[in-house]
Amino acid sequence: MFVCVSTECLPDMPLAAAMERLAELEFTAVELDVRDDGGHLRPAAVAADPEAAVAACSDLQRLRPVAVSFAAPETPDVYDLFEASCRLAKSLGVVTMVVEASELGTPFNGEIERLRKLVAIAAGLGGVVAVKTTAGRMTQDAETTASLCRNVPGLGVTLDPSHFIYGMKKPASWEPILKYVAHVHLRDTKADAFQVRIGQGNVEYGKLVAQLERVGYTRGLCAHMPPIEGVDQVGELRKMRLLLESLL
């Protein structure tokens, strides 16, 4: 396992400046956001000018790209946008493509068909799709997520423990999906607050690392922490890096 960080942690900085700041914080690996609602690379722009997208990622400040997080509205061209993002990932040597599940209420078979298409596109370019565990979406509980993985060969999971803690009387189990985990998003969380300062929440990082070690997980533990108003984001990112490194 290794520590990495998402560019979404610094959404208000241009991509190059965010990379420089993350390198200054001594991170060595990075997840790039290619999101329609993000502050850095947009899916439509990546598809329209692939060379410019590669150029935008050319100065990674010694950071090794290890994942691409993709999100775009479900329009007719979403699969073309996803393919363009997979091509960007391939050009950067990235395998893991993080995607969102559909919202709750989506027919199960329809979600299987959608994920199969994404997996096929990614696999054709040497990539692996890792669907995020997210409250309010099809992956909000572990059993349903595991069922999706069983029905979509090659599908992995981006485990985000916060969604199993926030709003719960006690943390829900993510045991059924451990063997499918291909990426991990981390912040600190309490039952009544989705994100709190590092050390003030209920995420048991040591227990999580032990669970992942048990199933042979060897990929990234990604700091995925949007800024909290009035809190020093640089200091929080540094604390998260040091905490995770101390467990490995």
Torsion of CA 240, 68, 96, 243, to 10 degrees: 0
pLDDT for the residue 172:
87
Secondary structure, 3-state, 12-54: CCCHHHHHHHHHHCCCCEEEEEEECCCCCECHHHHHHCHHHHH
In DSSP terms, 32 is beta-bridged to 68
pLDDT in tens, 147-199: 999 999 999 999 999 999 999 888 889 999 999 999 999 999 999 999 999 99
Amino acid identity, residue 108? F
CB 125 within 8 A of CB 89: yes
As averages over each run of 10 residues, the pLDDT of the chain (248 residues) reads 96 92 95 89 95 87 91 93 97 96 94 97 97 96 96 98 91 92 97 94 95 96 95 96 95
Burial class (CB in 10 A: 0-12, 13-18, 19+), 63: buried
Write the DSSP string, 153-210.
TT-EEEE-GGGGTTT-SSPPP-GGGGGGEEEEEE-EEETTEEEE-TTSS---HHHHHH
- In the chain, the number of structural domains is 1
Q: Check: CB of residue 127 under 8 Å from CB of residue 89.
A: yes
pTM above 0.85, yes or no: yes
The number of beta carbons lying within 10 Å of the beta carbon of residue 196 is 18
- The boundaries of the domain holding residue 188 are 2-247
Q: What is the pLDDT of residue 57?
A: 87
CATH code of 28's domain: 3.20.20.150
| 156-159 vs 181-186, strand pairing mode | parallel
* 8 Å CB contact between 156 and 183: yes
Dihedrals phi, psi of 171, to nearest 5 degrees: -55, 135
Tokens of 153: 């060969």
